């Protein structure tokens, strides 16, 4: 490395010049290079100094080479080592330009400076300025919908990895990247050198403090899929609610409201764990309350059986979590907190997160997202829970499994809701018309646009479904096959029509355009 120019040479004699730092932790630092699609992971010691001694460089190089030999699934968005560095413990990896870490979803000092007093809307005026800025930043970075969709994509990556028998190891907001533009939602994992096959004990276990599973912090188990599930759930809860799932009143009040003697009794029986936690506490400069909470000895903030660590801070979870997501969080942080095998597997998360994202609408008044079926208690109508503005005109698709004309239609298996202003075109993904599949559920199947004259339905260039359409206003005509596009007359503001799709599993889809109200 040239100290003067921050140059790094890889094993193929390519020279890389350091650009801005993307993230830094206990394991090392990741920074972009002057090549916009490449980044470098540089291993550092405890003081933050790059590791350059020959023996350590050789040891890390062998580890990075093993990662390149792992049987990773094809087309998996994980930035693996592309070239090892010379004279430094580190490697070059692909990282597309215009991608940012999940940590950008949280308000930092620079983002706070970009939010002035005039940027805080009236409905947030009663809040402390810093808390109001957090919510402004929340909707400026895509709100609830973008966070749910990003987490669904991340969970899909982890599910494919777990399906091949491997564990990611160090899930944290700095290791998950998303496209910077709000119109793109590609998600990548970096820091792939921790990927390994499942281990029950031994080896170097790596995790990020506050996100690591209790068994990793306590040193009682090795890296397993269940450990990934805990870390992913912490990232998800924190990202959606802006509240760490274990940072409740017990932590804030210095242990008040919970009898920590129970944790003390457990730790006294195992001095090895106690000494390990003491080392973590000192290294992280935590209080004992924080150490107990983050290492799995304290209930989580929404534990239905124990409210001693509850919290009403940040956004209300009742506005953020569907019933399925609530069940997953309770399973992970409730029984799964002390028994890793009781945690829901990662395979439950992608579908639950995608379903939640698909049921959100964006308020035209305050830009916050909320679930389309929310009824405001004051108006008893479909109004925004934040600013009370009426729900905008929305397209609601309800997808039913079709088992034949003589079989009853049960509850919808999927709902897709989007605001549909006049003149806009919505892209309807494949998951509305077929069983949910992680690999292609986002693929465009149909395009729908609305105007004063009618509704235009077009097949996507990527569409595979055999589609037919029927308008409620012309039931006698029945279903007509959709070859390219079809127009449905708009007699009233509220329109209803039907689509029938045949892919792997037939679907009858009820389509409604509604301007709001009950």
Residue 115 contacts residue 124 (beta carbons within 8 Å):
no
Residue 18, phi then psi, degrees to nearest 5: -65, 140
pLDDT at site 185? 84
pLDDT attached to residue 1: 43
Helices (H), 320-428: 323-333, 335-338, 349-358
Q: Is 410 exposed, middle or buried (0-12, 13-18, 19+ CB in 10 A)?
A: exposed
pLDDT at residue number 2: 42
pLDDT score at 401: 93
Contact 313, 251 (CB under 8 A): no
Q: Is 464 exposed, middle or buried (0-12, 13-18, 19+ CB in 10 A)?
A: middle
**For the chain, what is the radius of gyration of the CA atoms?**
25
Q: Which 3 state secondary structure label does DSSP give 66? A: helix
* Per-residue confidence (pLDDT) for residue 203, from 0 to 100: 57
pLDDT for 56: 94
Residue 468, SS3 per DSSP: strand
Under CATH, to which class is 143-242+314-355 assigned? Answer: mainly alpha
98: left (phi over 0), alpha (psi -120 to 50) or beta: left
| Kind and range of the H or E run holding 445 | strand 444-450
- At residue 391, what are phi and psi to the nearest 5 degrees? -60, 140
Please state, in angstroms and as integers, the Cα–Cα distance from residue 235 to each residue in 175, 231, 238, following that order: 11, 6, 5
Contact 198/224 with Cβ under 8 angstroms? yes
Strands 176-179 and 480-481: unpaired
3-state helix, strand, coil in the chain (%, to 5): 30, 25, 45
Instruction: Return the pLDDT at 65.
Output: 93
Instruction: Specify the CATH number for 7-97; select among 3.40.50.720, 3.30.200.20, 3.20.20.80, 3.40.710.10.
Output: 3.30.200.20
User: CA–CA separation, 515 vs 518, rounded Å?
Assistant: 10
Task: Compute the distance between CA of residue 155 and CA of residue 168 in angstroms, rounded to an integer.
Answer: 11
Structure tokens at 139: 């909707």
Confirm if 140 and 153 have CB atoms less than 8 A apart. no
Domain ranges of the chain: 7-97, 143-242+314-355, 393-514
- The span from the first CA to the last CA of the chain, in angstroms, equals 66
Contact status, residue 478 vs residue 499, Cβ threshold 8 Å: no
The most distant pair of C-alpha atoms in the chain lies apart, rounded to whole Å, by 80
Confidence (pTM): 0.93
Question: Pseudo-torsion of CA 405, 406, 407, 410, nearest 10°?
Answer: 60
Per-residue pLDDT of the chain (518 residues; tens, 9 = 90+): 444 458 999 999 999 999 998 888 767 899 999 998 999 999 998 888 899 999 999 999 999 999 989 999 999 999 999 999 999 999 999 988 889 999 999 999 889 999 999 999 999 999 999 999 999 999 999 999 999 999 999 999 999 999 999 999 999 999 999 999 888 889 999 989 889 988 766 556 789 999 999 999 998 888 899 999 999 999 999 999 999 999 999 998 876 555 555 556 666 668 888 888 989 999 899 998 999 999 999 999 999 999 999 998 899 999 999 999 999 999 999 999 999 999 999 999 999 999 999 999 999 999 999 999 999 999 999 999 999 999 999 999 999 999 888 888 889 999 999 999 988 899 999 999 999 999 999 999 999 999 888 899 999 999 999 999 998 755 556 899 999 999 998 777 788 999 999 888 899 999 999 875 44
CATH number of the domain located at residue range(s) 393-514 in this protein: 2.60.200
CA 436 to each of CA 232, 303, 350: distance values in angstroms, whole numbers, following the listed order: 21, 30, 9
DSSP 310: -
User: Is the separation of the CB atoms in 39 and 32 below 8 Å?
Assistant: yes
pLDDT at residue 23, as a whole number: 82
């Amino acid at each position: 490395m040239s100290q003067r120019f921050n140059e790094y040479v890889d094993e193929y004699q390519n020279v890389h010049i350091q650009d801005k730092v993307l993230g830094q932790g206990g394991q090392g630092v990741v920074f972009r290079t002057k090549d916009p699609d490449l980044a470098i992971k540089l291993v550092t010691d405890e003081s933050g100094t790059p590791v350059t001694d020959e023996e350590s460089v050789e040891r890390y190089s062998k580890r990075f080479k093993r990662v390149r030999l792992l049987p990773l699934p094809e087309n998996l968005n994980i930035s693996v080592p592309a070239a090892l560095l010379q004279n430094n413990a580190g490697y070059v990896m692909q990282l597309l330009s215009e991608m940012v870490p999940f940590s950008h979803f949280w308000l930092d000092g620079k983002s706070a400076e970009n939010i002035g007093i005039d940027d805080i809307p009236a409905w947030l005026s009663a809040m402390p300025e810093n808390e109001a800025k957090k919510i402004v930043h929340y909707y400026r970075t895509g709100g609830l919908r973008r966070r749910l969709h990003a987490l669904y994509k991340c969970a899909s990556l982890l599910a494919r990895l777990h399906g091949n028998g491997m564990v990611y190891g160090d899930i944290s907001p700095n290791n998950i990247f998303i496209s910077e533009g709000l119109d793109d939602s590609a998600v990548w994992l970096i820091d792939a050198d921790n990927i390994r096959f499942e281990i029950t004990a031994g080896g170097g276990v790596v995790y990020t403090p506050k996100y690591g599973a209790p068994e990793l912090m306590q040193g009682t188990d090795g890296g397993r899929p269940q450990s990934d599930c805990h870390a992913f759930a912490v990232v998800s809860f924190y990202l959606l609610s802006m509240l760490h799932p274990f940072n409740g009143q017990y932590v804030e009040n210095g242990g008040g409201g919970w009898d920590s003697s129970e944790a003390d009794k457990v730790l006294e029986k195992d001095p090895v764990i106690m000494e390990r936690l003491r080392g973590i506490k000192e290294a992280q400069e935590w209080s004992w309350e924080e150490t107990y909470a983050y290492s799995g000895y304290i209930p989580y903030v929404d534990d239905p059986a124990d409210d001693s660590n509850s919290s009403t801070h940040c956004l209300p979870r009742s506005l953020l979590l569907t019933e399925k997501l609530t069940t997953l969080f309770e399973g992970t942080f409730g029984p799964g907190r002390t028994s890793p095998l009781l945690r829901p597997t990662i395979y439950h998360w992608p579908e639950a997160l995608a379903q939640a994202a698909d049921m959100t609408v964006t308020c035209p008044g305050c830009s916050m997202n909320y679930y389309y079926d929310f009824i405001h208690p004051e108006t008893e109508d479909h109004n925004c829970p934040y600013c009370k503005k009426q729900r905008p005109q929305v397209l609601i698709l309800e997808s039913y499994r079709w088992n034949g004309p003589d079989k009853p239609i049960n509850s919808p298996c999927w709902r897709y809701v989007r605001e549909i202003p006049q003149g806009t075109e919505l892209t309807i993904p494949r998951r509305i018309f077929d069983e949910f599949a992680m690999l292609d559920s986002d693929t465009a199947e149909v395009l729908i646009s609305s105007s004063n004259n009618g509704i235009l339905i077009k097949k996507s260039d990527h569409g595979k479904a055999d589609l037919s359409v029927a308008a409620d206003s012309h039931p006698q005509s029945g279903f007509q096959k959709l070859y390219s596009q079809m127009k449905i007359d708009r007699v009233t503001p509220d329109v209803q029509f039907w689509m029938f799709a045949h892919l792997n599993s037939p679907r009858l889809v009820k389509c409604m355009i509604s301007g709001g109200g009950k």
